[in-house]
Amino acid sequence: MAAVIAAPALAVDCPGNPGALGTSRTLVVDPKEHPRIGTMQYEETLPLQDHEVVLTFDDGPLPPHSTKVLDILASQCVKATFFIIGRMARSFPEDVRQLRVAGHSIGTHTQNHPLSMNRMPVERARQEIDEGIAATKAALGEAGGLAPFFRIPGLLRADAVENYLASQGIQIWSADFPADDWHHISAARVHEIAMRRLEAKGKGILLLHDIQGRTVAALPKILQDLKTRGYRVVHVVPATPDRPKTPTEPREWQLHPVSETVAIARWPKIPRFVFASTETLPAPAAPDPDWRATMLPLQKFSARPARSLRGAAPVPSRPLWPAPSPLLAANASIALPVPAPSVFEFKEKASSVLQHAVIQSLRHAEVRGARNGAAAAGKLRSTNRIASRRIPGRVPVADHSLKHAPVTER
C-alpha cells in the first residue's frame, strides 16, 4: 500500500474536462520529521520533482471569492491546501466543510490574522494559534479533516512561535514564492508574477489568497499556463497510522539539491588549522635611552652630525639607504652609435619660403585695403605685427600711411 501511495500517479480523468490539468500525485508528509518548510524562510521545502507545484490559499473562507476559487479548482480537478482564519471559519462554517468535501487539505492561520506574531508575547501567540485551530475544528464538526499544517500570518516568524508549533506536532508552512495578490495590482499582474517566479524556481509552493477578487480572475489563466508549460500539481496530505508517509531522501527536501555528478561552482570552506606548536618568534630588544639620536630622518636632512640627548657625544651620521655597489661593465669595448650633428641642424630655406609667403599675403592685403578702407587696415596692422615677430629682417609698414606705403624689405 505504501508503494502505491508513494508512486507518482497520472492525473485522473476529470469529468466534463478531458484536457484538464488535474492532480498528478499525492505527497504524504510527516510534520514531525520536517517541521518547517518553504525556502522563503527555511532551508527545507517539500520534496518536489522538477516542474511540480503545490497550490496554497490563505485567509479564507470568504464568499463569494472562496466559492469561486473552489469552482475553478474543481473544473480542473486540482487539489490545493487552504490555511483558514479562525474567525472566518466561525462566520462561514459551511464553506470550510465544502473544502473537505472537495478533497482539499485544510490547515490554520491563527484566529485573527495578527501581523505581529514576531514580537507579541508567546502566551498571546499561543492563544492566537489555539483559538484558530479550535474554531476551524468546530466548523468541520465531528467528521474532522483538519491537517496539522500552519502558516504564520505575514510569514512573520519567531523562534518561540515555531518551538510551540513543533511541540504540538504542527508543520509550519512558509512558501517558495508568492504572487503578491494581496497588493492592489491587476489580475494580469498576479498571473505574470506567479508564472515568472515559478519559472525562476522550476518548482515549489505557490502562495495565493482565496479572498481576493484579483486572484479569482487570475487563477484560470495560471492553471492554463501550468498545463501548457508542462507543470504538474501535487496535493500534500499529512501522514496517519493508516496513511504512511511518502518515502524520500533528505536531499530531496532541498529546493535545488547539489548534484553528486556536477562540480560545485564555489570555493571550498577554509578548514580550521590545528597548530603543532605555539612557539613565538623572538621579540626585538628594548631600545637604548638614546634612540632618538639615531632617527634616520634627522640624519638624512641634517647638515651636521646628529647629537644624542643629554649632551652625549655626537653620533656619526649614517646614510638612509646603503650606497649602491659599482656596476662592472661586461664588455667596455662595446659603444653605442652617436648621432651625427646634422640631425639637429635646421635649414634656412624653410624660413625664406615662409618669409616670401607672408610678403605676398601682405601685398594682397594692401590691395584689398584700398577697397575696404579701415577694416582692411586693421587686418593689415595685425598681419604686420605677426610678420615682424616671426620673420627676421622684415621691416614693419608705417601705420600712418597704410594706403600708399610700399612694402619694403632689407
Q: Is residue 371 part of a domain?
A: yes
Task: Give the pLDDT confidence score for residue 53 in this predicted structure.
Answer: 98
Q: Which of 209, 224, 253 is the last residue of a domain?
A: 253
Report the pLDDT value the prediction gives residue 339, as an integer from 0 to 100. Answer: 77
Which of residues 253, 278, 305 is at a domain's end? 253
Q: What is the pLDDT of residue 361?
A: 72
pLDDT at 383 over 80: no
For residues 247 and 369, membership in a common domain is answered with no
Q: Is residue 332 situated within a structural domain?
A: no
pLDDT of residue 314: 59
Domain endpoint, select from 230, 253, 276: 253
Would you say residue 277 has pLDDT above 80?
A: no
Residues 373 and 243 in one domain: no
- For residue 213, the one-letter residue type is G
92-116: average pLDDT: 97
Residue 342 located in a structural domain: no
For residues 136-157, average pLDDT: 97
pLDDT tens-digit readout, 294-319: 555 544 444 455 555 555 555 555 55
pLDDT at position 336? 73
Model confidence at 203, pLDDT cuts 50, 70, 90, reads: very high
279 pLDDT more than 70: no
Query: Is residue 202 a part of any domain in this protein?
Result: yes
172 pLDDT band (50/70/90 cuts)? Answer: very high
Q: Mean of the per-residue pLDDT values for the chain?
A: 80
What's the pLDDT tens digit per position in 207-238?
Answer: 999 999 999 999 999 999 999 999 999 999 99
The residue range of the domain holding 175 is: 2-253
> Rounded distance, CA 157 to CA 110, Å?
13
Give pLDDT, residue 16. 86
Residue 173 lies in a domain: yes
Pick the more confident residue, 353 or 38.
Answer: 38
Contact (CB, 8 A) for 406 and 361 = no
pLDDT at res. 300: 46
**pLDDT > 80? residue 171:** yes
Give DSSP secondary structure letters for 72-117.
HHHHTT---EEEE-HHHHHH-HHHHHHHHHHT-EEEE--SS--TTT
| Per-residue pLDDT, 311 | 55
Grid cell in block for residue 47: 520534496
Q: Are residues 107 and 224 in the same domain?
A: yes
Average pLDDT over residues 167-186: 97
Sorting pLDDT into bands at 50, 70 and 90, what band is 1? very low
Any idea what the CATH number is for the domain that residue 162 is in? Answer: 3.20.20.370
Amino acid 307: pLDDT:
53
Mean pLDDT of 352-369: 66
360 and 247 within one domain:
no
Q: By the 8 A CB rule, do 403 and 370 touch?
A: yes
Q: What's the CA gap between 279 and 301, in Å, rounded?
A: 41
Percent of the chain whose pLDDT exceeds 70: 62
What is the rounded distance in angstroms from the CA atom of residue 128 to the CA atom of residue 28?
Answer: 27
Cis omega (within 30 of 0) for bond into 337: no
pLDDT digits (tens, 9 = 90+) for 69-96: 999 999 999 999 999 999 999 999 999 9
Number of folded domains that form the chain: 2
Mean pLDDT of 325-342: 65
Would 283 be classed as within a structural domain? no
- Vertex 154: Cα angle to 178 and 69 (nearest 5): 55
- Does residue 286 lie within any of the structural domains? no
> Quick check: 2 pLDDT over 80?
no
Query: Does residue 34 lie within any of the structural domains?
Result: yes
Alpha carbon distance, N-terminus to C-terminus of the chain: 124
Flag whether pLDDT at 7 surpasses 50. Answer: no
Residue 322's nearest CA partner among 303, 341, 296 is: 296
